[in-house]
Amino acid sequence: MPAGQDLSPGAEPLLDRPVATLVMRARNGDEHAWDTLVERYAPLIWSLCRQYRLDGADAGDVGQNVWLRLVDQLSNIRDPATLPGWLATTTRRECQRVLNKAQAPPAALHALDAENIPDDQASTPEQALAAERHAALRAAFAHLPPCCQQLIALLTEDPPVPYAQISARLGIPVGSIGPTRRRCLDKLRHHPAITALINAETQTA
């Protein structure tokens, strides 16, 4: 079933629902609501990546990080109607993190440690946390089954790949793309590296 459609009798198409309704339904495990959120706001993420002039690979990393963060934080968003702003802010932070990393001299990253970096050049706690999140995501992604890696890679390409093309490339029905994506994100979330990071952030919150 295409994303954003709820085919129960008399159901209103999910694409027409307010964002607050979609967030509440996604919190309750409604896969169609989650798919609709991704379909509705993926263009926002890609447009911000283009504003930061990120290439396809970096934009893909940003997209993965943003959606993974949403999986983790969906239940913590106090006002569901503010989700577009949350996504925009999170995307900008991820884009800036990628740019900061690209501008750092590779040799310096290996030669300097926490004890000999001058105070005015030391990374902020936010930068350190972003780097830790990125490393955890990389580790978790590497342990996904190949089918999940391929699906997430296609879903995070810039510009977005239509579901019909994804279906043709991977040989899976269009209607199974959304549920499969959710299962893949669940696998990411339950990887030990991600679990440890979430627990650490919860304890320090």
12: left (phi > 0), else alpha (psi -120 to 50), else beta?
beta
Long-range own/partner contacts, residues 6-14 (CB < 8 A, 24 or more apart): 6/32
Read off the pLDDT of each residue in 112-126 and give the average, rounded to a whole number. 45
Backbone angles phi, psi at 84, to 5 degrees: -55, -40
Q: What is the pTM of this model?
A: 0.50
Residues 6+ apart with CB under 8 A from 75: 27
Chain centroid to Cα 176, Å, comes to: 19
Please give the pLDDT value at position 117. 40
Q: How confident is the model at residue 64 (pLDDT cuts 50, 70, 90)?
A: confident
Q: How far apart are the first and last CA of the chain?
A: 39
**Residues for the chain: how many in total?**
205
Of 73-87, 93-107, 173-187, the range with the lowest mean pLDDT is 93-107
Between 81 and 116, name the one with better pLDDT.
81
Backbone angles phi, psi at 115, to 5 degrees: -85, -25
Please give the pLDDT value at position 111. 37
Whole-number Å distance between alpha carbons of 204 and 177 = 36
Whole-number Å distance between alpha carbons of 27 and 22 = 9
Averaged confidence pLDDT in the chain: 75
H-assigned helices in the chain: 19-27, 31-51, 56-73, 83-103, 106-111, 125-142, 146-155, 163-170, 177-189, 192-204
CB count, 10 Å around CB of 28? 8
Q: Are 68 and 137 in contact (CB under 8 A)?
A: yes
